Amino acid sequence: MQAQWSLEQVRLFVEVAEQRSFSAVARAAGRAQSAVSNAIALLETDLGLTLFERSSGRQPQLTEAGAALLEDAKELLRQCERLEGRASALMRGQEPRLRLAQDEAMPYPPVIESLDELSLQFPLLEVQLASSAQGDVARQLVERRADLGLMFHHERVPDALERRVLGSIEMVTVCPVGHPLATVGRVSCEHLARHRQLLVNPRDSGYAGGEPASPLVWRADSFYVMAELLQRGLGWAWLPRHVVQYPAYQQQMVELDCEWRPPALVVELAWRRDEPLGPAAQWLAERFAVHLREMG
């Protein structure tokens, strides 16, 4: 017998599992709590499984079967968003405008070279380019202020976004000219721990190199702000190599020979799952990946 459950029932199942409340989900949907409970009861009947333990006065708890099906249910909803988005993109055809948000520390040559080629390939396309500090690129995508994002990988990315790895950027350990570490031949972790570290991210972001190597840390949301602080002798830092090579910073920093190297920055392309990339955005992404590899 063919199952009769609906996507709306699956959506309510996921929402109740995440919020642990039938009443909260009902309020958010503008429906009676009994309607939400009945929808999930019908889903359980169709599946032949009990998804929630229901005890009087307690929050609904997932059963073992419910927990096993939860991720499948989420993926089903994600696939529906992709289907609707792709259908919308096909109906629209080539996008008339492309809003690109990028991390301000993204290397300029791959971006500029890709945009230069984009102007020739899609001469009638309107382009809007925004450079933002770490974390804001994802926010612009979620708030629909950008169509395409170039950002460095970090763990706390909204679930509404799709991501694709394009390449990576080397990180190096540097200190200002005249800093005590500049005269050390082979720098150990113990050497680094004796001096103030400049770190790019909030502690809980999961950003590459997020765990400090020194007990004394100053933090910023921009590699370029860190570079300015470093020039003033305020500490040592892990910086992308292309930032260290920026003309204004040359002769101002010393690359250290360390026993431990920070992980590379992983460059990702991001977009909303319900708004798939149009032809121009897909073309730009491929060209940027090519130029990023050439730089590396």
- CA distances 128 to 73, 101, 139, 181, 284, Å, are 36, 8, 16, 43, 13
Q: Which CATH number fits domain 171-263: 3.60.150.10, 3.40.50.1980, 3.55.50.30, 3.40.190.290?
A: 3.40.190.290
pLDDT tens digits, residue range 124-154? 889 999 998 767 898 999 999 999 999 988 7
**CA–CA distance, 125 with 119 (Å, rounded to integer):** 7
pLDDT at 260 over 80: yes
Q: Which residue reads 């948000």 in tokens?
A: 101
> What does the radius of gyration of the chain's CA atoms come to, in whole angstroms?
25
Q: How many CB atoms lie within 10 A of CB 19?
A: 14
Domain boundaries, the chain: 7-90, 94-167+266-295, 171-263
Where helices occur in the chain by DSSP H, the ranges are 7-19, 22-29, 33-47, 64-92, 108-121, 136-142, 189-193, 223-231, 241-244, 279-295
CATH top class, domain 94-167+266-295: alpha beta
Give the confidence band of 257 by pLDDT, cuts at 50, 70, 90. Answer: very high
- Its pTM stands at 0.64
The pLDDT of residue 95: 81
**Which of 2-11, 194-203, 248-257 reaches the highest mean pLDDT?**
248-257
Decide if 7-90 and 94-167+266-295 have a common fold: no
Residue 185, by phi and psi: left (phi above 0), alpha (psi -120 to 50) or beta?
alpha
**Arithmetic mean of pLDDT, 108-130:** 91
pLDDT category at 274 given cuts 50, 70, 90 is confident
Q: Which range, 86-95, 197-206, 259-268, is most confident?
A: 259-268
User: DSSP letter at 202?
Assistant: -
| Residue 204 pLDDT greater than 50, yes or no | no
Average confidence (pLDDT) over 242-250 = 88
Task: Specify the pLDDT at position 1.
Answer: 46
Q: Would you say residue 120 has pLDDT above 80?
A: yes
Percent of the chain clearing pLDDT 90 (strictly above): 39
Q: Is the pLDDT of residue 84 over 90?
A: no
Mean pLDDT of the chain: 86
Estimate the crossing angle of helix 22-29 against helix 7-19, to 10 degrees: 120
What pLDDT band is residue 88 in, cutting at 50, 70 and 90? low
Please report where in the chains the tokens 């897909």 appear, as a residue: 282
pLDDT score for 86: 62
Query: pLDDT-derived band of residue 218, with 50, 70 and 90 as boundaries?
Result: very high
Helical packing angle, 33-47 and 7-19, nearest 10°: 110
- Model pLDDT for residues 8-57, shown as the tens digit of each residue: 989 899 999 888 888 888 888 888 888 888 899 888 888 888 999 887 66
Which tokens in the block code for residue 134?
Answer: 């770490």
Contacts of 113 (CB under 8 A, 6+ apart): 287, 291
Domain 7-90 classified CATH 3.10.150.10?
Answer: no
| Local confidence band at 75 (pLDDT 50, 70, 90 cut-offs) | confident
Q: Determine which helix (DSSP H) or strand (DSSP E) holds 103, and give its type and residue range.
A: strand 97-103
Dmax (CA) for the chain in angstroms is 78
**pLDDT at residue number 160:** 87
- Strands laid side by side in the 197-199 sheet: 217-219, 197-199, 236-240, 171-176, 253-255
CA 198 to chain centre: 22
